[in-house]
Amino acid sequence: MSTNKYKLSPQKVWLGVTCTLWWNDDFLSIDAGIPFEQCISEMALAGFKGCSIGHKYPSDPKVLQSAMRLRDLRVSEPWVSTYFTIESMKQQTFDKIRQQLDFMDDFEAGWSDPRRADLVVAEFGHAVNPLPVALYPNSPVFDDAQWQVLAEGLNEIGAMAKSRGRKLCYHHHLGTGVMTAEAVDRLMAQTNPEMVHLLLDTAHMAAAGGDPLAVAQKHARRVKHVHFKNMRASVVKEMHSNGWSFQQGIEAGIFTVPGDPEGAITSYPEIIDILADAGFEGWLVVEAEQDPAKAPPLKYAKMASAYLQKVLGWAQ
């Protein structure tokens, strides 16, 4: 294992957080009314250096840059949903990718800083997580033709991102065709490692029945972005037993943050060691799609930040 002073250097690895602690971007009814500037102020107060982009953020990159600079925050990732596995959506997917790349180039213009945003994507063709249906029995399983068009599309947009100096990081996700450890294996096998990297999401993998530690071990060199979040095993069990949708699972508290004793995942130190040994550099992002009316965002953000800084050896 790593023998450095730090498991991962704070000069080359940065802690981020997603705005889904403060509101939900998929299910807009999960919202306690917290405004954008309060959200990013609390992120900075909790010790984070970057964050995802949410629907309450300014659409003007210069306005966003001004607000973020004031708090010494960067953007860790914009998200783009891809739709390669359904008909007549390839060009629209490409257009959205270019739009996000342009936005980030404008946002980062004139800002000399190594903390650049990665481009995070997930294939939402045939996905059921946005729908009010039982998630687990209805999650899609891609056929060979769908895998082929997905891999080809990801390689193409990965090349677009690389040409802009960014990493394309694929997010495996509950309710999609790339959900399980086996699906991640196939995605990694069929895509170009120079163009397509892996975003390891610990809770999405565990809730899909996989072991995030084993996935980290197998694909350590492909992991270029991490979402560290935890999950409540009791809620996953309820989702299976009662046929709950993804939204119902979120509202019941399927996800929480690292450092929460209610979480079932305990392998964060081992995952960090594996990433350190693989030479990981980039964003470690806390994520927990929680109801902010039930889980005060600043409380959970500080909980996660303190826990990870202790595990990383950064705590004073």
Which ranges constitute the DSSP H helices of the chain? 36-45, 61-70, 90-108, 135-138, 144-163, 181-190, 202-207, 212-218, 233-242, 246-252, 268-277, 297-312
pLDDT greater than 70 at residue 183: yes
Supply the pTM of this predicted model. 0.97
Both structure tokens of 37: 């500037």
Say if domain 19-312 classifies as CATH 3.20.20.150.
yes
Residue with tokens 């409380």: 299
Mean pLDDT score of the chain: 96
Q: pLDDT of 38-61, one tens digit each?
A: 999 999 999 999 999 999 999 999
Question: Are the C-beta atoms of residues 39 and 22 closer than 8 Å to each other?
Answer: yes
Confidence of residue 199 (pLDDT cuts 50, 70, 90): very high
Question: Are the C-beta atoms of residues 40 and 67 closer than 8 Å to each other?
Answer: yes
pLDDT greater than 90 at residue 5: no
As a whole number, mean pLDDT of residues 35-39 equals 98
Higher-confidence residue of 8 and 2: namely 8
Q: pLDDT of 201-243, one tens digit each?
A: 999 999 999 999 999 999 999 999 999 999 999 999 999 999 9
- State how beta strands 255-256 and 230-231 pair: antiparallel
The span from the CA of 224 to the CA of 228, in Å, is 13
Domain boundaries, the chain: 19-312
pLDDT greater than 50 at residue 2: no
As a whole number, mean pLDDT of residues 100-125 equals 96
H helix and E strand count, the chain: 12, 11
